[in-house]
Amino acid sequence: MVSTQQLKAIMPFATLGKITVFLDPLNATMEEFFINTWMRKAAFLAQLAHESGQFNYVEEIASGAAYDGRADLGNTKPEAIALAELSSTSPGRYFKGRGLIQITGYANYKACSWGLLNSRALLDKPELLKTPELACRSAGWFWNEHELNTLADKGKFEKITRVINGGLIHIQQRRAFYAQALLVLP
């Protein structure tokens, strides 16, 4: 379990209101996905701090148009196109990044939906990933699917960043959150 005080110390720009909203779902997620050691919690919270702008964003700021036509995300699949068209938009915009570790693209939404909910709910209503419970749980699901606990146990923070981000974008900020989390957590 993490406390309000610990989260505030790790994410100083997170408001107490945001921390309060995410605290219980976050603790439940860490329990569900065995993010239960000092190293695992520190790595997970550091990545969430960066990815969510310290709990300020559960949806990508960009429109998602850059993901249109991305076969690697599944956004060229006929179902992805059809679902987006039902909402008068494009697959990239429809399946843009959401959650505390932003799930992005049709293929990831589909895997997350079936993995977490055993249904297609996230395909039909991708905005569900903006709710506190699913924003947290989807981050835990992603963490678990990519076996990031194993990397966290070994202190492989850069490798975790590459899995989440595809590169080392903003690695200094991520490392700062990680260092602070290592200091704050018991």
Query: Mind listing the pLDDT tens digit for each residue in 120-147?
Result: 999 999 999 999 999 999 999 999 999 9
- Of the listed 51, 79, 85, 145, which one is catalytic? 51
- The mean pLDDT of 73-77, rounded to a whole number, is 98
Sketch the domain layout of the chain as residue ranges: 4-58+132-184, 65-130
Confidence band, pLDDT 50/70/90 cuts, at residue 67: very high
51 has catalytic annotation: yes
Determine the 3-state secondary structure of 173 from DSSP: helix
CATH number of 4-58+132-184: 1.10.530.10
Model confidence band, residue 34 (pLDDT cutoffs 50, 70, 90): very high
Enter the pTM of the model: 0.96
CA angle in degrees (0–180, nearest 5) for 161-107-88: 115
Give the integer Cα–Cα distance in Å for 102 and 95.
10
Q: Cα Rg for the chain, rounded, in angstroms?
A: 16
Nearest to 8 by CA among 28, 167, 17: 17
Grade residue 186 by pLDDT with cuts at 50, 70 and 90.
Answer: confident
